[in-house]
Structure 1
Amino acid sequence: MRFLRQSMIGVFLAAVSLGLLVYAAYVVQSAVQARLSDDAPAPPPRERVFAVHLERAEARTITPVMETFGEISSRRTLELRAAVAGRVTALHENFEDAGRVTQGEVLVRIDPSEMQAAVDRLSADLADAEAEIRDARRARDLAGAEQTAAEHQVSLREKAYNRQLDLAGRGVGSTAAVETAELQAAAARATVLARRQDVARAEARVDQAATRLLRQRIALTEARRTLADTAIEAPFSGTLSDTSVVEGRLVSANERLADLIDPNDLEVSFQVSTAQYARLLNPEGGLIDTRVLARLDVAGVDAQATGSLSRVSAGAGDGQTGRRVFARLTHASGFRPGDFVTLEIEEQPLPDVISLPASALGSDSTVLVNGEDNRLEVLAVTLLRRQGDQVLVRGEGLEGRDVVTTRTPLLGPGVSIRVLRQEAVVSAGVPDMLELSEERRARLVAFVKGTEHMPAETKERVLAQLAEREVPAQMVARIESRMGG
């Protein structure tokens, strides 16, 4: 009994210990879950401050520059055509593609044998016509003299007739003598009529001879002009292009032989929108007198030419919109017809405008400015022009305010900012210079000398710059980019 009692007490104590242990685990687990389920106390909220760049808005008068692209063409381009048919007997020594010729030089000469024979034949016909008119005039003069003699004969016959009438009235003469005198006077008058007809025929012959002489002179002039057309001269100094004949070849009338282009009298044509064209007009409706700058990037060197607006096309063109404008260029060294160039056209100055970075303008035509306590405000502006990375705007109350130069979706009215002022930096306009090694300089010079499409004037200028101790870094970078290095 004692063993059983002690065993029961042991089991009871073990059960109590196990229960306490389970309860203790439950209490610990409940405490941990309660701890985890409790919300952590949030820290006090703090406003976010954004760092932005600001730029002071200053109103001034700015001349906008319109940028576009255009094609160079020659103001004087002539198709050389054969005026007569024949065999080419002589060509100018420079009659080839890209050959330079001077005004008045004979470019092509066609065999003039047939034309010279025609001139000689018509010269002889002209001499015959001149002799004919001289003979007709002499015949007219003789006919006139005969008419005068016949009229004098009529006067004498009429006097004889009147004398016979007087004698017959006094009973001295006879009736037969009177009739004979009357018949002789009538015959003399008939002779006068015949002589007048001879004079009329002589005058008609003179007129016909004069007409024939005029026709012969016209024919001779045409023949001489045809003979002169066998020698094709250069009407102006220029460069030949698309030559298509050789000496000894037979050419037909009006056959195209070559093109003559004046490379020094150049113009550039470019297409602009209607809105851009309106900005190039003066109050009278004509084109403004403004400066046009044409740039051509040739092997790392910008070839430039200046000019002015000259005219505008009458229509927009098939399938085109806007207007085609032409500008005449001056001092266009290195340019050739067919080049595509970049154009910068100065517009009329705009007073009281503000230049800002393009990133400062929102899609709703607003800008963000710094207000009180460094908080952003919104101002509406009017966009006038876009100039590369800049915009020209006007806005009420904008002048003198600090404008956010770069807008992001996080920025808006009322946002607190920290100012990072961005002052305008004015470039000195002088390119960075490099001192080249002899090996690098030699490679650049060899590449420039081997460039065939570069104009001679530009090539000389580039080589002269490469010969200096310091060379513009921009030019070196452009040449090496074309070298593939």
Structure 2
Amino acid sequence: MILAPACRQRTGFLCQEPILFFRGGLLMALHEIDTPRKGEGASPSRNAGDPDSRAADRTDAGAARAASRRTRLLYGLIGMGIRLTVAIGIVGAGIAITAEMVANRPPPAERDSFERSFIVQTLAARHGTFTPTISAFGTVNAALTLAIRAPAGGDVIFVADNLRPGGKLEAGQVLVKVDPFNYQLSVADARTKLEDARSTLQEAQEQLRLQKLNAQFATSSLELAQADLRRARALFDAGSLTSQQLESRELVVSQREQALRQAQSAITLQEGAVKRAQTGIQTAERALERAERALADTTISTPYDAVVVNSNVVPGATFAQGENVATIYKANALEVRFTLSEAQYGQLLADGLEGRPIRVIWDIGPTPVRVNGTISRVGARIDTSQGGVEIFGTLDADQDTPIRPGTFVSVEMDGISYSNALEVPETAIYEGDILYVEQDQRMKSVPVTILQREGDKVIIRADVADGDAIIVTRLAEAGDGVLVKHEEERETPARAEGTASQAAGPAENTTTKDATTGGAE
């Protein structure tokens, strides 16, 4: 039975025939033993009514049946032996045929040994200085927004055509005019009062001049009276003048002194009048300035180049002083607000943040809008809900830029520059700090230091010489010593079709036989 599998494989039904013959012979022998033959049972010479005869008949019948069974068993065993002999002969013939077939089978073709290889792409190493680009997203805002309010109330008699949302305004452009009639009257009244104040001052100054002349005359008269008194005293001492005459001259001196004091007091009073007149002039001048200012406020102009956000005035409307007329923002004063991660902020802070150039990109249509700018300041507070640090940048935009406040933009800026570094695809890095170079068509691992990640690129430093072939194809079975081939070294078009699946690690064989038969088993 050891050869039964070979028999089943080589000769089909031959190995089953002996078993069937043996089983059939055994069943027939057992059937012959159990089945009595016809005529077996009682002897015809016995009397059926005699009990002794009946017992003898039963004994004879039992002996006959036993002899019959032995005979049938013998015949069955002989038949079974014949069948078994035939079966053994058939099995022997099958074994002989199988042995002959095995002996005469041609030897199998020898298979060439092979080593798996992988088709890879390589990148020539080039050391240099690489500056990664830091990207963020932000919103454009107006750096200077102005709510224009009416400095003077009244009826609107003029509104500029472009004073509407989105309208572009030039510096000094007249936006709104209010009826100036009442304000012109106020200016005229202020000018009249100013002229009156100037006349009052002139009169006061003239009176002061006269009072000063009177004081001078009183001084001269006093000096003459005093001289006459001195002569009178000399004459009185000489006995040439009476005491009455002397007293008369003393009285004159006293009167002249009183007149001088009155003249000086009048001068002081008149000087006060002059000062009051001068103050009146100043008050009138200020009143005139206010009136002229109010008259000028009836015309509202744009302080700088601006864009209108909204307008609340129409011709014929009446509004009070201080009422909102329009809201504008300075056209060339836009800024972008964006958020940097703490890691990005730390890198730029060490390298200088404020004044750093930025590039703002508004991705619309086939041609994105690009505007340059600079970082102007850092936010006043660190908001943890934003996941970073808020940064403000000033845009170098003019009035014609299509960017408007509220625009969602992307912001790019140069990060820290890394010298003597390499830039490789992300697929070239294994286990976070290993890359492989191709050396004599074998993979060789090289440890790397990750400096910066930029999209699908990685800036690294590694002990790799310029010109070394860095393997950039991702292989599932990467390792030192693995056989690799460049894409341009493929030998058949069939290999080119399998390149797209290299990321999953398909292997090809270096032997021509396997390439033509579909690869290794």
With structure 2 as the length reference, what TM-score do the two structures score? 0.68
Q: Distance in 2 between matches of 1:127 and 1:21?
A: 159
1:299 aligns with 2:380: no
Q: Deviations over 1:145-166 (max 9, x none)?
A: 1111111111121122223222
1:165 partner letter: R
Q: Which residue of structure 1 aligns with residue 449 of structure 2?
A: 382
Partner of 1:178 in structure 2?
A: 246
CA contact (8 A) 2:360 2:409 kept: yes
| Counterpart AA for 2:199 | A
Instruction: Determine if contact 2:174/2:299 at 8 Å carries over to the other structure.
Output: yes
Structure-to-structure mapping, 1:173-252, within 5 angstroms: 173-252=241-320
Alpha-carbon separation, structure 1, partners of 2:79 and 2:90 = 16
1:64-463 matched pairs, under 5 angstroms: 64-264=132-332, 266-280=334-348, 285=352, 287=354, 290=357, 292-305=358-371, 307-313=372-378, 315-316=380-381, 318-319=383-384, 320=386, 321-330=388-397, 333-347=401-415, 349-371=417-439, 374=442, 376-397=443-464, 399-408=466-475, 410-414=476-480, 416-421=482-487
Which piece of structure 1 moves more, 335-344 or 413-422?
Answer: 413-422
Q: 1:72, 1:266 within 8 Å by CA — same for their partners in 2?
A: yes
Q: What RMSD in Å do the two structures reach over aligned CA positions?
A: 3.5
CA-CA distance at 1:126 after TM superposition: 1.4
- Amino acid in structure 2 at the alignment position of 1:149: F
Deviation at 1:75, TM superposition (A): 4.7
Are the equivalent residues in 2 in contact too, given 1:316–1:324 (CA < 8 A)?
no
| Alignment-derived partner of residue 56 in structure 1 | 124
Query: What is the rounded CA distance, in whole Å, between the counterparts of 2:83 and 2:320 in structure 1?
Result: 129
Aligned-residue offset at 1:106: 1.2
CA spacing shift, 1:253–1:273, aligned 2, 3 Å: farther
Does 1:11 find its partner at 2:79?
A: no
Are residues 69 and 12 of structure 1, via their aligned partners in 2, closer, same or farther at CA, if it must alter by over 3 Å?
Answer: closer
* Contact 1:74–1:262 under 8 Å retained in 2: yes
Task: Map 1:26-37 onto structure 2 (within 5 A).
Answer: none
Distance 1:20 1:204, change over 3 A: farther
Contact 1:360/1:406 (<8 A) preserved: yes
- Judge conservation of contact 2:157–2:179 (CA < 8 Å) in 1: yes
TM-score norm. by structure 1 comes to 0.73
- Deviation string 1:260-284 (CA, Å, 9 cap, x unpaired) is 234455444433234434554686x
Aligned partner letter, 2:482? S
254 and 422 in structure 1: CA distance in 2 versus 1, 3 angstrom threshold: farther
**Counterpart of 2:451 in structure 1: which amino acid?**
L
**What SS does structure 2 have at the residue aligned with 1:298?**
coil
Letter in structure 1 aligned against 2:303: P
Match of 2:53 in 1: none
Q: Distance in 2 between matches of 1:53 and 1:275?
A: 33
- Return the alpha-carbon distance in structure 1 between the equivalents of residues 259 and 241 of structure 2: 27
Query: Cα 1:272–1:182, aligned 2, differ >3 Å: closer, same or farther?
Result: same
Q: CA separation of 1:380/1:7 partners in 2, compared to 1, >3 Å: closer, same or farther?
A: closer
2:337–2:390 Cα contact (<8 Å) kept:
no
1:362 partner SS: coil
Tell me if structure 2 keeps the 8 A contact 1:269–1:327.
Answer: no
| Shift in Å, 1:382 | 1.9
Q: CA deviation at 1:352?
A: 1.6
Residues of 1 paired with 2:332 and 2:466: CA distance? 48
**Whole-Å separation in 2 of the counterparts to 1:171 and 1:249:** 100
Residues 107 and 170 of structure 1, relative CA distance in 2, 3 Å threshold: same
Q: Which has the larger radius of gyration?
A: 2
Q: Name the count of aligned residue pairs.
A: 403
Letter in 2 for 1:413: G
Is contact 1:263-1:336 (8 Å) kept?
no
Relative to structure 1, the CA distance from residue 212 to residue 314 in structure 2 (aligned partners, 3 Å threshold; closer, same or farther) is farther
Contact 2:163 2:311 in 1 (8 A): yes
Write the distance in 1 (CA, Å) between the matches of 2:437 and 2:355: 37
Q: Is the 8 A contact 1:61 1:351 kept in 2?
A: yes
After alignment, is 200-209 or 364-373 more displaced? 364-373
Query: How many angstroms apart in 2 are the aligned matches of 1:67 and 1:318?
Result: 19
Unaligned runs of 5+ in 2: 1-63, 93-110, 490-521
1:112-163 per-position Cα deviation (integer Å, ceiling 9, x unaligned): 3333333222222212211111111111111111111111111121122223
1:100 to 1:299, Cα distance in 2 relative to 1, 3 A: same
CA distance in structure 2 between the aligned counterparts of 1:248 and 1:288, rounded to whole angstroms: 49
CA deviations over 1:334-383 (Å, ceiling 9, x no partner): 33333222333234543222111112223533223335661x33322222
Could you say if the C-alpha distance between residues 44 and 119 of structure 1 is closer, same or farther in structure 2, counting changes exceeding 3 Å?
same
> CA 1:77–1:84 in 2, change beyond 3 Å: closer, same or farther?
same
CA-to-aligned-CA distance 1:66-85 (integer Å, 9 cap, x gap): 22223334455432221233
Question: Secondary structure of the residue that 1:381 maps to in structure 2?
Answer: strand
Structure 1: gaps (5+ residues): 28-42, 424-485
Structure 1 residue identity aligned to 2:368: D
